[in-house]
């Protein structure tokens, strides 16, 4: 296929997808061209439309093609609680795993001055407005348990403490189905120290 300029350019363009190297990109391009032209055209159209129309929700910054996302619009969701997450993928994981019925706030990152990510970039002025709004009672901080995630959680806790709110964070401990033998020492020490009544 070194002969097809257009095919080579498609293969190169496919490498923007995460985890896709030259070999997988070639397999994808040939698969679409040889077997799935119609669905391939549909994918190209969906991709162009999504990249064009999907932006951030004005209230929670989650990805949506509307001004305000469906969770923020929904009357069924509890407006007295906000859960703060780093990314839309984290929000999705919580939606699938938990029965949480409150609302969210998506940072699109974590505090990381080295990468130029400060309070401004994470939309913390918008979050501050929501924390000050009447009716809010609870803030759940669900950043990742990394160094930067922890620093961000600390910063958010300080912000939330200025208001009369219940502030909580995800529990650390032994993952379900994990074996003690293989769990890192930090997690194990934490789980031991924070042991709960049986």
Q: Where on the chain is the footprint of a copy of itself (CB under 8 A)?
A: 1-7, 9-10, 13-14, 16-19, 24, 26-34, 36-37, 39-54, 62-65, 69-71, 87-89, 91-92, 95, 108
Shortest gap between Cβ of 28 and a copy of itself (angstroms)?
5
Max Cα–Cα distance, the chain, nearest Å: 69
Shortest gap between Cβ of 15 and a copy of itself (angstroms)?
9
| Residue whose CB is less far from a copy of itself, 63 or 128 | 63
Q: 55-58 long-range CB contacts below 8 Å, 24 or more apart?
A: 56/106, 56/108, 57/106
82: its two tokens: 């906000």
* Helix extents (H) in the chain: 5-14, 22-35, 37-53, 70-73, 88-97, 124-132, 147-161, 185-193
Shortest gap between Cβ of 52 and a copy of itself (angstroms)?
8
| Residue whose CB is less far from a copy of itself, 62 or 152 | 62
Give strand pairing partners of 117.
Answer: 112
Shortest gap between Cβ of 143 and a copy of itself (angstroms)?
16
| Residue whose CB is less far from a copy of itself, 46 or 189 | 46
């Amino acid at each position: 296929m070194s002969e097809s300029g257009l095919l080579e350019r498609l293969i190169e363009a496919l490498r923007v997808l995460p985890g896709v190297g030259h070999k997988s990109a070639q397999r994808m391009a040939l698969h679409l061209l040889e077997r799935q032209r119609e669905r391939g055209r549909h994918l190209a159209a969906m991709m162009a439309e999504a990249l064009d129309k999907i932006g951030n929700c004005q209230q929670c910054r989650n990805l949506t093609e509307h001004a305000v996302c469906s969770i923020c619009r929904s009357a069924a969701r509890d407006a007295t609680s906000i859960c703060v997450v780093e990314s839309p993928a984290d929000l999705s994981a919580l939606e699938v795993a938990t029965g949480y019925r409150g609302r969210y706030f998506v940072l699109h990152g974590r505090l990381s001055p080295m990468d130029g990510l400060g309070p401004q970039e994470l939309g913390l002025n918008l979050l501050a407005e929501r924390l000050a709004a009447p009716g809010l009672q609870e803030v759940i901080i669900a950043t990742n348990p990394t160094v930067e995630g922890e620093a961000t959680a600390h910063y958010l806790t300080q912000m939330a403490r200025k208001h009369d709110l219940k502030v909580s964070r995800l529990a650390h401990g032994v993952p379900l189905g994990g074996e003690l033998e293989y769990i890192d020492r930090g997690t194990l020490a934490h789980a031991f120290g924070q042991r709960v009544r049986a």
